């Protein structure tokens, strides 16, 4: 039963990532990578335009959740995302300005249909050891 729950969460997450990728493409961004992972962790979407490289955390919920999805991106999760982003930038030799965004994807109740996206640009910033990249 746990496997079924994780599988359903993964499917819901994939749907939210797909909606977010479509949103970013409409905004003029190129999707560089989905589900980039390394020894430190994973980033849902890496996208870029001429000036920015985005590291996007996607949180997908059904409409009217009790708590905003962005609140699931804790300081610890932010720090992990920044470490993964740092390693991505080193590996890919990217010279664009990094930005950390959160995409809150809301689905219509009991469906996989999009209700709305709340896209938060610069949802958190580089601090501490990784501020210099």
Domain harbouring 56, CATH code: 3.40.1350.10
Please report the sign of the dihedral spanned by the C-alpha atoms of residue 101, residue 21, residue 50, residue 92.
Answer: positive
DSSP 8-state symbol, 119: E
In this structure, the number of other CB atoms found within 10 A of the CB of residue 55 comes to: 23
Domain that holds residue 105: 2-130
Burial of 34 (0-12, 13-18, 19+ CB in 10 A): middle
Give ∠ CA 120-100-104 in degrees, rounded to 5: 35
Write out the chain's pLDDT in tens, 133 residues. Answer: 445 676 888 898 999 999 999 999 999 999 999 999 999 999 999 999 999 999 999 999 998 889 999 999 999 999 999 999 999 999 998 889 999 999 999 999 989 999 999 999 999 986 655 444 4
Split into its structural domains, the chain has a count of 1
């Amino acid at each position: 039963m746990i496997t079924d729950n994780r599988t359903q969460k993964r499917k819901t997450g994939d749907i939210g990532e797909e909606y977010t990728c479509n949103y970013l493409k409409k905004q003029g961004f190129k999707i560089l990578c989905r589900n980039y992972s390394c020894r430190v962790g994973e980033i849902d979407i890496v996208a870029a335009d001429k000036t920015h490289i985005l590291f996007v955390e996607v949180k997908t919920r059904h409409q009217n959740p009790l708590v905003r999805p962005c609140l699931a991106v804790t300081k610890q999760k932010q720090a992990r995302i920044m470490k993964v982003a740092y390693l991505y930038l080193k590996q890919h030799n990217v010279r664009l300005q990094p930005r950390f965004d959160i995409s809150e994807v809301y689905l219509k109740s009991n469906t996989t249909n999009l209700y709305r996206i709340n896209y938060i640009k610069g949802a958190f910033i580089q601090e501490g050891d990784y501020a210099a990249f």
